[in-house]
Structure 1
C-alpha cells in the first residue's frame, strides 16, 4: 500500500556517544553511524518511495543520503521545521546539565534512560519544552509554542505528500529527523501516541493511513546496531 510514512532518527554521532546535547549544532557520524547508514540504505532499497524530507542539519542529510542509496532518482527536501529541539545555551553541553534541572522541576531525578521521562510527558511535551526555555541560561531555547508551530508546518507538508502518493499509488514517504522531534511528530500525528522507550539512532517508525487518521508500527531498530 502506498502512502505510508517512514520516520527515521539520524545515525549515531560523536555527540551521541559522548552524551552531549546536539540540538541545532552538529557533530560527525561515528564508524557505527556510518554502518547504520549503510544498513538503512539496504532496508529502504526495496521500499517504493515517492518523496523524501529531512531536517537541514548535517547529520540528517548524511543519514538521508544513505537511505536513498537505492533511489538515486529521488531528491530529498530539506526542512528547517524538522530540526531537533533547540536547546539554547545547553547546546554541546553534557546531557545532565539540562536534564538535571528540568527533571527537578518535574519533581524527579534525572538518570540516562529514566522511565520518569515517560511520566513527565504523559500529556505531551509542552511542560518539558517550556521548562527548557525558562531555565536556559542564555534565553535562546525554544518554548513549546515555537516547537509546536514548526511541527504543524512539517506535518502538513509530509502528510500532503503522503496523501498524494496514496491517491496516485506512487509509493511511500521517508522522513529523516531527530529523536525528540520524532516523538513530537508522532504525538501530533497520532494523538495520545507514546513510545515505550526512546528511539535508537537509525530506528524507523512506519505509520500507515487508517480511516481518517494514522496508525504506527512498533519501532524497527534493525538498522540501529549493525556490525562495524
Structure 2
C-alpha cells in the first residue's frame, strides 16, 4: 500500500528575515511565519492525517501546532532537526558556503555536522516513521537544510533547489516498499 509523507518546512522566523544561520539555535516565527502556518493549516484541513511529527525546534513545533489546530497530537523528534552549524549558529548567512557541495564538510571543524550526516539522519528517521503499519498519511515539520539533504539522499536535488525551498514549502513523498519517491513540491505558502 502506498503511503504519503508531507514533509513541511517551518514558517518564516526572525532569523530568516535577519539572514542569520539558524541550525540548532532557534528564533521565533514572525507574524508572516504564523500566517504561513495558518495557511498550511487550511491546506491540511481536508487531508486525513493519521500521525504528525515535528523537529524539536520551537519554530517547527509552533508551525506544527498552527497547522494541526488541536485536531491531532504530534510527536517531537530530534532527528528532524536542522543541520548543526557549530560556531556559525546565529552568525550572518554570508559566512556560509555558497555551493551545496561545500556544505558537506565545511562545518565539521567548527563543531557542526556534515550535510551527509543530516541526510542520513533524516532518511533513517523518516523511513522508520513511514514503516509503522498505521502511518499512512503523515505530516512531518522540519527545516530547509534538513529537507534538502533528505531529498539529496533520494535523487539529484538540483532542479528542485533551483526553484527554491521557501518557508512553508510542502514536499509530498510517496512511500512504498520501504522507498520514498518525490511526487511534488508545493511552494505557494
Measure how far apart 1:192 and its partner are: 3.2
- Report what 1:131 is aligned to: 106
- Report what 2:165 is aligned to: 199
For the pair 1:153 / 2:124, whether they are aligned, the reply is: yes
- Report what 1:110 is aligned to: none
Q: Among residues 204, 208, 212, which one is paired with 2:174 in the alignment? A: 208
How many angstroms apart in 1 are the aligned matches of 2:174 and 2:183? 8
- Report what 1:91 is aligned to: 89
The gaps in structure 2 that reach 5 residues or longer are none
Measure how far apart 1:221 and its partner are: 1.7
Describe the SS at the equivalent of 2:29: coil
How many angstroms apart in 2 are the aligned matches of 1:213 and 1:152? 10
Per the normalisation by structure 1, the TM-score is 0.74
- Report what 2:11 is aligned to: 11
How many angstroms apart in 1 are the aligned matches of 2:167 and 2:79? 20
For the pair 1:179 / 2:144, whether they are aligned, the reply is: yes
Cα distance change on mapping 1:209 and 1:154 into 2, 3 Å: closer
Measure how far apart 1:178 and its partner are: 0.1
Cα distance change on mapping 1:156 and 1:55 into 2, 3 Å: same
Measure how far apart 1:82 and its partner are: 0.6
- Report what 1:107 is aligned to: none
How many angstroms apart in 1 are the aligned matches of 2:117 and 2:172? 26
Provide Cα deviations, 1:164-189, integer angstroms capped at 9, x if missing partner.
24xxxx7410110000000111222x
Describe the SS at the equivalent of 1:4: strand
Per the normalisation by structure 2, the TM-score is 0.88
How many angstroms apart in 1 are the aligned matches of 2:180 and 2:80? 19
Size of the aligned set, in residue pairs, is: 187
Measure how far apart 1:191 and its partner are: 3.4
How many angstroms apart in 1 are the aligned matches of 2:35 and 2:137? 24
- Written as runs of structure 1 = structure 2, the 5 A alignment for 1:29-108 is 29-69=29-69, 72=71, 74-97=72-95, 99=96, 102-103=97-98
The answer as to whether partners of 1:7 and 1:174 remain within 8 angstroms in 2 is yes
How many angstroms apart in 1 are the aligned matches of 2:28 and 2:56? 15
Measure how far apart 1:67 and its partner are: 1.5
The answer as to whether partners of 2:80 and 2:142 remain within 8 angstroms in 1 is yes
Q: Among residues 162, 185, 188, which one is paired with 1:219 in the alignment? A: 185
Measure how far apart 1:155 and its partner are: 2.2
Measure how far apart 1:210 and its partner are: 5.4
The gaps in structure 1 that reach 5 residues or longer are 104-116, 122-126, 224-228
How many angstroms apart in 2 are the aligned matches of 1:210 and 1:148? 19
Q: Which structure would you say has the larger Rg?
A: 1
Measure how far apart 1:149 and its partner are: 4.6
